Chain A
Amino acid sequence: NAGVTQTPKFQVLKTGQSMTLQCAQDMNHEYMSWYRQDPGMGLRLIHYSVGAGITDQGEVPNGYNVSRSTTEDFPLRLLSAAPSQTSVYFCASSSGGRGSPLHFGNGTRLTVT
């Protein structure tokens, strides 16, 4: 049982480039979410999804897009990367909705130069 899998583990982008952070879970969880973690800021919610075809914005959604075409996958897209998006990104899922204990992936460390 792999849990939540994130790829890539590390990524360097130039300002203005686009990329997709991948997230997949094999626990059949309906709820999935993306957080970013910055020094001294804790974890902040970017976007979340309560099921396939349903997404919504979190606390810091600007500059990011998501889609949820299947229960298993929840990719995060950066359309035009900015240095302010340098961060560690975590995908998380749960079976009980957005207020339930989350299962986290091991993160993607993104640097935008």
Chain B
Amino acid sequence: GESVGLHLPTLSVQEGDNSIINCAYSNSASDYFIWYKQESGKGPQFIIDIRSNMDKRQGQRVTVLLNKTVKHLSLQIAATQPGDSAVYFCAERKAGTALIFGKGTTLSVSS
């Protein structure tokens, strides 16, 4: 079936490094993608989104890249900080439907 997934369940980086979290999707009709961050004991928080007519979008210290040819989405975090430690989810939307969430990648940042 169609689903949103993540390549790796965990990612460990050193403080100050750049982090790249990947997400593969299989629904070619999806037109909108979102990255969420979930800290322990809290609900997911919106980080950044991108529409299918874009390849790249930048926020504060974060960049989302979309490669529709290989159905791949990535979240890049620059100069990763301990406060970035969390579970990161990608979500996709096919027009007119609800968001479908991936299973999440746990990012651990060590000092």
A interface residue numbers (CB < 8 A to B): 4, 33, 35, 40-45, 48, 58, 90, 92, 98-99, 101-107
List chain B residues, Cβ under 8 A from A44.
101
List chain B residues, Cβ under 8 A from A98.
97-99
Interface core residue of B42, B89, B101, B102 (most chain A CB under 10 Å): B101
User: B89 to A42, Cβ gap below 8 A?
Assistant: yes
A104 and B99 contact, Cβ closer than 8 Å, known pairs A42-B89, A43-B89, A99-B93 = no
User: B43 to A99, Cβ gap below 8 A?
Assistant: no
Contacting A99 at CB < 8 Å: which of B4, B45, B97? B97
A40 and B43 contact, Cβ closer than 8 Å, known pairs A45-B98, A98-B98 = no
Chain A proximity of B73: nearest CB distance (Å): 15
List chain B residues, Cβ under 8 A from A42.
4, 89, 101-104
Interface of B is mostly: loop
The number of inter-chain residue pairs (CB within 8 angstroms) is 49
B interface residue numbers (CB < 8 A to A): 4, 32, 34, 41-46, 49, 89, 93, 95-99, 101-104
List chain A residues, Cβ under 8 A from B32.
99
A103 to B36, CA, bound (A): 10
Contacting B43 at CB < 8 Å: which of A4, A33, A41, A48? A4
Instruction: Give 6 A-B pairs besides A99-B97, A102-B99 with Cβ atoms closer than 8 angstroms.
Output: A4-B43, A40-B103, A99-B98, A101-B34, A104-B45, A106-B41
A92 to B45, CA, bound (A): 11
User: B95 to A99, Cβ gap below 8 A?
Assistant: yes
A43 and B42 contact, Cβ closer than 8 Å, known pairs A99-B32, A99-B93, A101-B49 = no
Q: List 27 A-B contacts (CB under 8 A).
A: A4-B43, A40-B103, A41-B103, A42-B89, A42-B101, A42-B104, A45-B98, A90-B43, A90-B44, A92-B43, A98-B99, A99-B32, A99-B95, A99-B96, A99-B97, A99-B99, A101-B34, A101-B46, A103-B46, A104-B43, A104-B44, A104-B45, A106-B41, A106-B43, A107-B41, A107-B42, A107-B43
